[in-house]
Amino acid sequence: MAKVIYKSYNQNDSLLLPPSLGELIPLSHPVRIVSDILDKFDISAIEGTYKGGGTSSFHPRMLLKVVVYAYLCNIYSGRQMEKQLQENIHFMWLSGMSRPDFRTINRFRSERLTQGRLDAIFTKVVELLNDEGFVSLNVQYIDGTKIESVANKYTFVWKGSVEKNKAKLVEKVKGVLSAAEQELNIEQSAAELEELPQQEFNRRAKRILSKMDDMGISKGKARKEIEKIKEESVTKLDEYDHHLEELGERNSYSKTDPDATFMRMKEDAMNNGQTKPGYNVQISTENQFITNYGIYWRPTDTGTMIPYLESFMQRYGKQSAEIVADSGYGCEQNYEYMLDNGMVPYVKFNMFHKEQARKYKNNPFLPANMYYNKDEDYFVCPMGHHLEHINDCKSVSDMGYESVVSVYRAPNCKGCPFRGMCYKGKSDRRTIEVNHKANGYRKKARELLNSKEGLRHRSKRPIEPEAVFGNIKFNHGFKRFKLKSKEKVSVEWGLVAIAHNLRKYIAQRLKKAAVIDNIGVNSIIIGQNRAA
């Protein structure tokens, strides 16, 4: 039997020349590529946040590299980053053996990278991708998803409840004060009625209590009610006003993260449609690289599109020629903005797929399928009756956009054999409402979407932003923000976007290098064969 020989194993063995950390890291390792890329960027804006004096600070470039590489490795916690800096040779090499604690890392992430400073780094990464031909910035595949905030989901404030409770309290307090003033023969001045409820009630309560003191009424139910109004009700009204000011145009917010809005999430563990505090994250992708992002409080995508497209213009100083998005973005206001600004909208509208169905196309009673005489402005129903234009009405969306809807009415539908199939209203005269401007935009969008280029974009859209969101959420485990406030959440998503782009860039770069090496090996083999 042959003797078994083991390799040398001595934990106390010391080397005359100990190896450096760099020797243990391959030249093609992602940590080296991340370091090289971030070394190229100007970070003077981040360095400008430091003040002189006091003790020395950790270098901001080192902290930026550590945080970005941590996100690339699916590490989002400051404590975990601190742990990696003590145990992982890649982090040790990247930090130059510096070991900032989690407080330093979190403070750098939530304070030094705000006010657009990380946003500028993200822009530089995308410009690098553009220079190397990975993205052209000529097309945007846009989509959004909702990501939960770190806020407590039971600390909600609803606008409807606040307005209702405030109105109830105001009526109750007015009734109590009026009854007390009538009992004590106190007249209310006209000037007080023009003041805010808090000021009015406070003045009236003080005057009533003063009158009671003069009359020697120091106890009793009436006095307790007035004292309660002076102490509690006025404070409660101030609280309601604070909530309404914080809400603004929103319908809800969280007390522990006032920038977060309650919305329904796709990841619903209880499957009960429960709303949770979160943010609507919008991204643009091209070749599955993220080229732009934005954080919004609106749960729906429709109202985010115009400010989002404007942010792309501000970021790069130009706009994409083609915009591709799903039906959540297809509305009159968005079509108008894109067409007026020279963009080609490959954007679906909510009825796009339903219009393709045979049942829809073969229904002659739908206004879309009725004959329309543009010159004389009337529709013709299947019985040949004219639905004449009677008036126009205006509607204003929650974003302030004004639409004009034309109303058409038939002369008389009584006794019509198609009456039951045509409409279900009780009136004997059918009325339809048509938005001609919106229909014109939909017609243009329909032509674009059914064109050869439109079909190509429609086939690519599901594997562009949707695949990116799926990769970030399920492959890399980012399903919830760890920071509070819109500005800090924007920093956190910016780090996720940078990490995603660098992860994909590194993979493409290594793949390209492997192909070149393979070509080189094959050339040598071919040359040797020819020589032989």
Domain boundary among 387, 405, 435: 435
Query: What's the total number of domains in the chain?
Result: 2
User: 111: which 2 tokens?
Assistant: 């304070």
**pTM, rounded to two decimals:** 0.86
Please state, in angstroms and rounded to a whole number, the distance separating the CA atoms of residues 302 and 297: 12
* Res 522: pLDDT: 47
Q: Is residue 375 part of a domain?
A: yes
R_g of the chain, CA atoms, integer Å = 33
Has residue 371 been placed in a domain? Answer: yes
pLDDT tens digits along 178-226: 777 766 667 666 555 555 676 777 777 777 777 776 676 666 666 777 7
pLDDT for residue 532: 46
Query: Which helix (H) or strand (E) covers residue 432, if one does?
Result: strand 431-434
Residue 331 lies in a domain: no
Report whether 345 contacts 442 (CB < 8 A).
Answer: no
Please give the single-letter amino acid code of residue 273: G
Domain hosting residue 390, numbered range: 367-435
User: What is the rounded distance in angstroms from the CA atom of residue 70 to the CA atom of residue 413?
Assistant: 70
**Cβ neighbours, 10 Å, residue 286:** 24
Of 125, 147, 144, nearest in space to 134 by CA: 125
Which DSSP symbol is given to 318?
S
Q: What is the pLDDT of residue 187?
A: 67
Q: Which amino acid is at 69?
A: Y
The amino acid present at 120, given as its one-letter code, is A
pLDDT at 529: 47
Identify the pLDDT of residue 36: 94
Q: Which residues, 6 or more positions from 486, have their beta carbon under 8 angstroms from its beta carbon?
A: 259, 279, 295, 297
| Cα dihedral sign, 60-66-71-75 | negative
Separation CA 463–CA 476 (nearest Å): 17
pLDDT at 269: 57
CA distance 141 to 277: 26
Query: What are the strands, taking DSSP E only, across 37-179?
Result: 139-148, 156-158
Give the list of residues 6+ apart from residue 267 with CB closer than 8 angstroms, or none.
148, 473, 479
pLDDT, residue 255, reads 92
- Output the six-digit token pair for 35: 């370091």
Does a structural domain hold residue 240?
Answer: yes
Structure confidence at residue 525 (pLDDT): 44
- Say what the pLDDT of residue 170 is: 82
Model pLDDT, residue 69: 97
User: Distance between CA 355 and CA 358 in Å, rounded?
Assistant: 8
pLDDT per position as a tens digit, 327-360: 999 999 999 999 999 999 999 999 999 998 999 9
Q: Is residue 478, in this structure, part of any structural domain at all?
A: no
In this prediction, residue 16 carries a pLDDT of 65
Domain boundary among 254, 275, 292: 254
pLDDT for 297 equals 93
Q: Which of 239, 254, 269 is the last residue of a domain?
A: 254
289-325 as b/e: b if 16+ CB within 10 A: bbbbbbbbbbbebbbbbbebbebbeebbeebbebbbb
**Distance from C-alpha of 143 to C-alpha of 87, rounded to nearest angstrom:** 39
Residue 78 and residue 461: Cα distance in Å, rounded?
Answer: 35
Flag whether 135 is in a domain.
no
Quick one: CA dihedral 511, 513, 519, 524, positive or negative?
A: negative
User: Are 504 and 288 within 8 A, CB to CB?
Assistant: yes
Domain-embedded: residue 140: no
Nearest to 498 by CA among 69, 18, 33: 69
- Distance (Å, rounded) from C-alpha 119 to C-alpha 141? 20
Short-list 85, 145, 78, CA closest to 488 = 78
Query: Rounded to an integer, what distance in angstroms lies between the CA atom of residue 56 and that of residue 49?
Result: 14
Name the DSSP letter for residue 23.
G
Tell me whether residue 472 is in a domain.
no
Segment (H or E) for 45: helix 44-47
Spell out, as residue ranges, where the chain has pLDDT lower than 50.
520-532
